Structure 1
Amino acid sequence: MNYGYNGYPENQYNGYPENQYNSANNYVEPQRKSIIQFRDVVKEYKVGEVTARALNSINMDIYQGEIVLFLGTSGAGKSTALNLLGGLDKATSGQIIVNGKDITKFNDKKMLNYRKNDIGFIFQFYNLIQTLSAKDNVELVSELTSNNKCNAEELLKMVGLEHRINNYPSQMSGGEQQRVSIARALAKKPKILLADEPTGALDYNTTRQVLDLLVRICRQDNITLIIVTHNNFIVPIADVVYSFRSGEIISQYRNNNPLRVEELEW
């Protein structure tokens, strides 16, 4: 796969269709495919007699193949929004529509299948099983999904860990463990990849390596990647940035010329 000047695979831009013309040779605005929609989403938590609102009437549209950032300080609501989208928590009210289905209406069985087959998760602290090798950690997830099975060794080679296939997490660095978690998430062949502070525990150089890997793979395979972060310096790599504060989206920024990770400086 060759990459153009803006970091996208050649002949592909943002997951949007190429320019189209009708029979009269007049330009027709391409229709973007919105695969995720939040509609007036509210999330409240009860602490004793007090009700705390973590999200207040959130609305957004996310499109196929986009790299999206949820940006904000701790407690802004960005991780709550990610958890609702991933089916790890339930909205108090509103709709979350994924590929035409409102996941807020899912029963436990449907939600389990959704998490198992449609969503890949990458967490800050890896969450690898310490008693399993890198290969076994990846294979375990692949066996649980009903999607086409992936080759664990090939995935680990893709993330640069062919020399760590039989190593255990305790024998790997933080960056290597995070790469295993990326391979594990990709083993499900997910449509959507959710990453909650995926580089929060990593140093500067390893952060760049992990981000570069994530973005390149998602661009190549047209996977929608949503990253929760407080790091303003990675904003230029994203197609869209939603800034959260006090449970609300205070701004939305669309970047028509995202940078490659290698072009970032901070």
Structure 2
Amino acid sequence: MIACYGDKVKYWLTFNEQNLYHSPEAFLISGYLQGEKTLRELYLIQHHVMMAHVHLTHYLHQTKPQCQMGGMLAHALVYPATCKPRDILCAQQLDEFLNQNLLRAYAGEGYSPEVMHFVAAEGFDDIYRPEDLALMATVKVDYLAFSYYASRTLNSDAIPPGTAVNNYMLFGNQDNPFLKATEWNWQIDPLGFRTIITRYYNDWRLPVFPIENGIGVIESWDGEHPIADDYRIAYHRDHINAMKAAILRMGRR
């Protein structure tokens, strides 16, 4: 693809929503066919996907220096359910494992120290070959991209002791009483959209590309009359205004 279209296409991405390969969903989307779906296998999948990203980014920069490669997340914006310290800690841990871990790698910093400490404690460190980590340190993306549809809220009381951070939302997810939700129970939060854009640029000083955002609704057409989807118009208006505020008021690119 790069060899064929590199002179025509400037902006490239390797994996859509790459952090999903570090969540339980990885076993559904990675081509995993059989096995015990262990935590070790989850980390193996995540690292192999990251190394594919690293090798392709390196290849693009070497062969098509006029092109740009981005890293892309399904950003998991998670609020603590209360101001209880454990709720805050668990929300921060989830952010580190599912968001910041990859953002650090995209920025050429390598994996999160917190994640790698967990890896060593679990005995998974043999997955991460020194030559892989050395190559990661030489590769940096040119921009950051993300998808965002809704925020989520985490209740630490519902998380069983010993649960891996990657699995927190399997148990601790709860509704946010301050937000409306779609029919799929995705909670509508345009301020969360602004928060992500602002934080990305504050932390990494790279161009930010929001490349997925929208609302899903159970609806049908009667075959005759126009669809009155004011709810969709309102969703996009509020999120566009949030993005505008991040750009004009906060100085984001």
Does TM, scored on the shorter chain, surpass 0.5? no
Higher relative contact order (CA 8 A, sep 6+): 1
TM-score by length of 2: 0.29
**Between structures 1 and 2, the one with greater helix share:** 2
**Between structures 1 and 2, the one with greater strand share:** 1
